């Protein structure tokens, strides 16, 4: 019986990863002056897995989603940098929503606090990592050319994008998770 439950869990993680992988292709720029930053909803299935199966399943779903994307899009340095950034974003979502679920999410208005916290932390963490790691890698390894100073790009492009991403994805997920029957949420 335990093997059957484990198999169901693995299949569910694989299905969520496949859905997340497909959602990566449905992306669109939200800020016209940084068109290379695109919003997608690939973190929604990961967060559903978090609430239904726990944090380890969410991390497994994330890694599998990124592996599928890397395998199909090619083994380029550009893809690896972008996927590393995507991994950090997913881990921020997983961590904050898991902590929020454990300690904060008891009623509807508190979920707003969790979404705002996700958006703010995502903005701070990704701004710092883009300034120190990701953008320097794009610039030095790939030869990406910035038309403005990096600090200005972070301030007017990357920070607002991550704030919007955190708010939009967090809100959509909160609506979805509140629609799911309680028996599906761990």
Q: What is the pLDDT of residues 79-107, one digit of tens each?
A: 899 999 999 999 999 999 999 888 776 55
Cα torsion through 22, 40, 31, 83, rounded to 10: -80
User: Which pLDDT score, from 0 to 100, does residue 186 have?
Assistant: 60
Q: What is the pLDDT of residues 140-166, one digit of tens each?
A: 988 888 889 999 999 999 999 999 999
The pTM for the full model equals: 0.90
The percent of residues above 90 in pLDDT, for the chain, comes to 72
Distance, C-alpha 15 to centroid of its chain: 17
pLDDT over 70 at 170, yes or no = yes
User: Which pLDDT score, from 0 to 100, does residue 108 have?
Assistant: 63
Q: Is 70 exposed, middle or buried (0-12, 13-18, 19+ CB in 10 A)?
A: middle
User: Which pLDDT score, from 0 to 100, does residue 106 have?
Assistant: 59
User: Which pLDDT score, from 0 to 100, does residue 17 have?
Assistant: 98
Residue 38 — φ and ψ, nearest 5°? -120, 140
Q: How far is 128 from 88, CA to CA, in rounded Å?
A: 12
Domains of the chain plus CATH, in order, are 2-184 (1.10.1760.20)
User: Which pLDDT score, from 0 to 100, does residue 185 have?
Assistant: 63
């Amino acid at each position: 019986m335990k093997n059957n439950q484990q198999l169901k869990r693995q299949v569910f993680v694989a299905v969520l990863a496949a859905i997340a992988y497909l959602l990566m292709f449905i992306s669109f720029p939200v800020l016209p002056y940084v068109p290379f930053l695109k919003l997608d909803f690939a973190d929604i299935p990961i967060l559903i897995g978090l609430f239904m199966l726990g944090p380890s399943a969410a991390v497994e779903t994330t890694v599998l989603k990124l592996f599928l994307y890397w395998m199909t899009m090619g083994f380029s340095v550009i893809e690896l940098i972008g996927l590393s950034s995507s991994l950090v974003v997913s881990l921020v979502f997983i961590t904050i929503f898991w902590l929020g679920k454990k300690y904060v999410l008891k009623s509807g208005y508190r979920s707003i606090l969790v979404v705002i916290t996700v958006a703010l932390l995502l903005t701070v963490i990704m701004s710092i990592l883009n300034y120190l790691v990701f953008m320097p890698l794009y610039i030095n390894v790939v030869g990406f050319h910035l038309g403005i100073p990096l600090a200005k790009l972070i301030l007017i492009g990357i920070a607002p994008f991550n704030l919007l991403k955190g708010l939009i994805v967090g809100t959509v997920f909160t609506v979805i998770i509140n629609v799911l029957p309680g028996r599906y949420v761990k």
